[in-house]
Amino acid sequence: MGRLMLWAGFAACVFAAAAFGGCLPQGSESPVLPPPPVQADQLVLPEGWPMPDQPQDNVFTDGRWALGKLLFFDPRLSRDASISCATCHQPELAFAAPEAISPGVDGLLGTRNAPTLVGAAYAPYFMSEGGVPSLELQVFAPVESHVEMDDNLTHIAEELAADNAADYNALSLEHYGRPLDPFVIIRAIATFERSLISGNAPFDRWQRGELTDSEFGPEAEQGWVLFNDPELACISCHSPPHFTTHGFANNGLENPYIDAGRFLTTGNPADSGVFKIPTLRNIAQSAPYMHDGRFTTLDQVLDHYIAGGVGHPHQAAQLEGFELNSTERQALLTFLIALSDEEFLNDSRWE
C-alpha cells in the first residue's frame, strides 16, 4: 500500500510530539519562545485576506521563516541526502512536482501525486485523506515515510546541529529559544510553508479593479461566467478566494478506487474514494492532476468532468456531465490559466 498506510505508522509519534511539547529530552524544561513579531515581512497577504491561524507555540516571525526556508531546501532531511522538501514541491511549479508520482530515496514510489502547497496556511487539514490536522504535524509524513525521505527527525536534528557552517543551532536558539531538535524542525518548516500564499493572479487583479474588462479579456471573463454556471458546478467545489472549499469529494475517477482515500482515516465505507478538494490556484503550472497524477493536461481534466465521471456509488452529486462547444471550452481553459500568479511563481523569496 506504500504511503497509504503511513498514517497508522507515524500517528502515535506525531500526536505524542504535539502533546508533550515537541520531543523535549527527558528532564528538559518547556521551550522558551520569543514574543510575537512586531512585523512579519515574509508573510505577504493579498488585499482583503485574513491573517491565517497560527499555533501559539509557532507564531510567524521572519527569523523562523528564514530557518524554515533553509530546512525546506536542505536534502539532508532525507536518508541519503538526495531529496529535500523542494524536490517534490518546486517553486516554479507552484510548489508541486512534475511527476505523477515523485520518486523517493532509492527511487521508491508511493501511490500519490505531490500536491501544490499554495494556500496551505488556510487549510484545516492535510494529506489527501485529510488525516493530519496541522502543517506542523504534516512535516512528519514525508520525512519518515519509507518511500519518500525515509529518515528520522531526531537523527536529522543531530546531523544538522553539528554543521557549524550552516549555523542551524544558533538560528534555532535565536528564534525558538532552544537548540535544533524535532520540535524546531517541524515548526520552522511549517512557518515557511505558511508564507506560500498566492493571490495576485490576473483574476484577482481584475476582481480588485486593477485590470479592466478588456485587459482581463472577454474570453477569460466568459470562462468565469461558465465557472459559475450551476450546470457545470465548478464553483461548488472550487470557490474563491482559495478556489477550494477545503472539503472532500469522490470525483468519479474509477470504480472501485485502488486508493481508498478518506476511508483510511475515517473507516467509513461512504468515504471510499473520497479525497480532499485541491485548490485551482496556479493550476496551469501544477500538472499532473488528480491524487494519482493520471492526467497530464487541463484538457484531459475537462474531458473527465464533461463526461460526468465513471459513476462510482459515492461520486459527488454535482458530477452529472455537461456539454461545451469549442468556444466555451476554450473560454473555461483561459479562465483557469488566469489563476496563474506570475508574481508568486517568480517571487525572489523562494530563491
Instruction: Give the ranges where the chain is alpha helix by DSSP (H).
Output: 6-19, 62-72, 85-88, 135-138, 140-144, 153-161, 168-176, 182-194, 202-207, 213-216, 218-227, 234-237, 263-266, 298-307, 326-337, 342-345
Which of 1, 161, 189 is closest to 89 using CA atoms?
189
What residue segments make up the domains of the chain, in order of their start? 2-12+60-197, 202-349
Domain 202-349, second-level architecture: Orthogonal Bundle (1.10)
**CATH code given to domain 2-12+60-197:** 1.10.760.10
Could you report the per-residue pLDDT of 248-284, keeping only the tens digit for each?
A: 999 999 999 999 999 999 999 999 999 999 999 999 9
Contacts of 50 (CB under 8 A, 6+ apart): none
Q: In which residue ranges of the chain is pLDDT below 70?
A: 1-39
Q: In whole angstroms, what is the distance from residue 176 CA to residue 297 CA?
A: 43
2-12+60-197 and 202-349 in the same fold? yes
**pLDDT recorded at residue 102:** 94
**pLDDT recorded at residue 17:** 45
**pLDDT recorded at residue 146:** 95
Q: In whole angstroms, what is the distance from residue 224 CA to residue 217 CA?
A: 11
Peptide bond between residue 25 and the one before it cis (omega within 30 degrees of 0): no
Q: In whole angstroms, what is the distance from residue 312 CA to residue 304 CA?
A: 13
Could you report the per-residue pLDDT of 14-42, keeping only the tens digit for each?
A: 444 443 344 443 333 445 555 555 568 99
**pLDDT recorded at residue 12:** 38
pTM: 0.91
Cell digits of residue 61: 516571525
